[in-house]
Structure 1
Amino acid sequence: MYNSNDIQNIIPHRYPFLLVDTIEEIIDETCIIGKKNVTANEMHFMGHFPQKHVMPGVLIVEALAQTGAVLLLSKEENKGKIAVLAGVNKMRFKRQVIPGDTLTLKVELTRMKAGIGFASATALVGDEVAAKGEIMFAIDK
């Protein structure tokens, strides 16, 4: 549905901090599915950890947040705005993410109130949950 060039036209993130590669599907303007291909040449693997690469959990959360931001900012009323991560709740990490993995990033918007969005977020590797929790966004003008 969207490639990396399309994504960069919606959200302001750029390499090395653009953490979603493609958007596969948007369902009913409330659910989005993206992909992140994890590779060994990413900057964070130089120090996390040099002897055993593990993607930092905070970057998995950021990848989910960027995917959710694409959902919010692709709506006509939000074009040209910025979505910022406003909160994380009940986030649990169930599986390590390593180079060679493809993260499927699923974000379901549960409610919007006064420019604040609440979403359920899940990162999967294959059928295995890597991370799951709730994220909150604020739409910044």
Structure 2
Amino acid sequence: MKGGQQMAQLDTVEIMNLIPNRYPILFVDYVEDLVPDESLVATKNVTINEEYFQGHFPGNPVMPGVLIIETMAQAASILILSSPKFAHKTAYMTGIDHAKFKRMVKPGDVMKIKVTFGTLRANMGTVDVATYVDDQLTTSAQLMFVVSDDEQQTN
């Protein structure tokens, strides 16, 4: 337990009930620790079967940094939207500060994503996010977000 709250775990279906991302752009495989309004630890299993490895880079497959940031944003959205005050809403990333890439992420890596709340004012705020492979820091950043009502597209 952290902060008097019980930690939760989420599988892929439970993740899809919180965030709108779907295959092929759903990158978080599962959440192993979730304390709403506080912190989250999620996992992305990086496999050679990911289509982007065909072109990034042939003979030297490396997960693109922009997709690592996207994975971080998805994990952050799970934490944000697990809060009862943001139920049935959508979190949008509005900015990235202090992004640092320390180590490459390659097929076969198990990437752990750690998210903690930074600031929160009404429906906007920041989260601090870091990714690790084998307990080594790979990427860190502060992400800004805004939460708004779900929007339904009609054609």
TM-score, with normalisation over the residues of structure 1?
A: 0.96
**Partner of residue 62, structure 1:** 70
Tell whether the 8 Å contact from 1:16 to 1:43 is kept in structure 2 after alignment.
no
TM-superposed deviation, 1:103: 0.5
Distance, in Å, in 1 between the alignment partners of 2:125 and 2:111 is 23
TM-superposed deviation, 1:71: 0.8
Q: Give deviations 1:25-76, integer Å, cap 9, x for gaps.
A: 1236211110000000112112111221100011111111101101111112
Rg bigger for which structure? 2
1:102 equivalent to 2:132? Answer: no
Tell whether the 8 Å contact from 2:113 to 2:129 is kept in structure 1 after alignment.
yes
Distance, in Å, in 2 between the alignment partners of 1:35 and 1:52 is 23
**Partner of residue 137, structure 2:** 129
Percent identity of equivalent pairs: 38
* Structure 2: gaps spanning 5 or more residues: 1-8, 150-155
- Aligned residue among 54, 71, 87 for 1:46: 54
* Structure having greater relative contact order (Cα 8 Å, sep ≥ 6): 1
Moved over 3 A (4+): none
**Partner of residue 117, structure 1:** 125
Distance, in Å, in 2 between the alignment partners of 1:9 and 1:104 is 21
TM-score, with normalisation over the residues of structure 2?
A: 0.88
CA RMSD after TM alignment: 1.0
